[in-house]
Structure 1
Amino acid sequence: MGERAALDAGEAAFWRPLIRIATVLPRALEDQFLPETGLTISDYGVLVALSEAPDHLLRISALAATTALSLSRISRVVDDLTRRGLVEKRRCAEDGRASNAVLTAAGLARLEAAYPSHLARVRAAVFDHLSAEDIRTAGPVLARLAAALDATPPTDDC
């Protein structure tokens, strides 16, 4: 990669708050969420992803891609959720080396119970500070940035 020019004032004014948000927002959301619900933000993201998946089932590698967690991190989160009865791990019938994560009834109930607290935190931390116009204009910009960062998800799901 060749040498690139330093950030100009406009780029720096965009980048510095963005990196602060990326660092501080998850911590701010989790500080009260974990004691209130017993879920980390990663736990919550996994439960949401499984709740939205067909049959509440995703291959572990697809779950990692969906939640933007590494394979080692998703394995630890799924193992913890499994120990707590919120998720089940099942061998993939088509590939015995792979595993699927399946949302349990208890996991769905925990997700539904945690949703109001999560929604309140997200509104207080983010949306209460933005106008409808801010949201309308920033949404597509953030979506483009997220899409540029996303890896291609696996296509060989069970």
Structure 2
Amino acid sequence: MADADRPTALAGDDLETWASLATVLEWLPPALDQQLLRDSGLTHFEYGILYALSEAPDHTLRMSVLADYANSSLSRLSRAATRLETKGWLRREPDPADGRYTLAILTGTGAEKVAQATPGHVATVHRLVLDQLTRAQTRQLREITRRIARAIRDDDGWDPASR
């Protein structure tokens, strides 16, 4: 559809669909944070950092790679890494292969924290999202979200690091 042919306001089904999605986008992150903070003392963002490191070879990633995984700027990631370092769950050190980079390394205590936090997080994801859908709907949701993510990624000027 050409830009000139696009509506200038949302209405009807388009408005209802957008409003439903916008509500989920606003409500889901605090709901995930609430459970993780209550049960594990982690935000969802911090859990994602620790989880990514727990799945990485040697529990280690370059900060720049971790920022990409977290869809985060390096400065936001660095602030979170500082909080996680203070708790002993992560450490940072120069990359011996290239000193221009910094490695994030999950500590043993951090691995224990991820293991402790994961069951409650998984239960919350199931309760709030997956258990609300049929198998067909979960496949549809996966395809829908992949299409939206692809459109965002391919949009001119999109740079998650600029957030």
User: TM exceeds 0.5?
Assistant: yes
Residues 1:64 and 2:67 aligned together: yes
Select between 76-85 and 11-20 the one with higher mean Cα deviation: 11-20
Residues 1:83 and 2:86 aligned together: yes
Q: Provide the TM-score with structure 1 as the length reference.
A: 0.86
CA shift for structure 1 position 35:
1.8
For 2:141 and 2:86, how far apart are their aligned partners in 1?
A: 39
Which runs of structure 2 are paired with 1:104-115 in the superposition (5 Å)? Answer: 104-115=107-118
2:49 maps to 46
For 1:41 and 1:112, how far apart are their aligned partners in 2?
A: 14
Q: Give the total of aligned pairs.
A: 152
Q: Which structure has more RCO (C-alpha within 8 Å, separation ≥ 6)? A: 1
Q: Provide the TM-score with structure 2 as the length reference.
A: 0.83
- Where structure 1 has 5 or more consecutive residues not aligned to the other structure, the ranges are 154-158
Select between 134-143 and 108-117 the one with higher mean Cα deviation: 134-143
8 Å Cα contact 2:35/2:121 also seen in 1: no
1:30 maps to 33
8 Å Cα contact 2:60/2:104 also seen in 1: yes
Residue type matched to 2:73 in 1? S
CA shift for structure 1 position 71:
1.5
CA shift for structure 1 position 108:
0.9
Q: Percent identity?
A: 38
CA shift for structure 1 position 112:
0.7
From 123, 137, 150, give the equivalent of 1:147: 150
- Where structure 2 has 5 or more consecutive residues not aligned to the other structure, the ranges are none
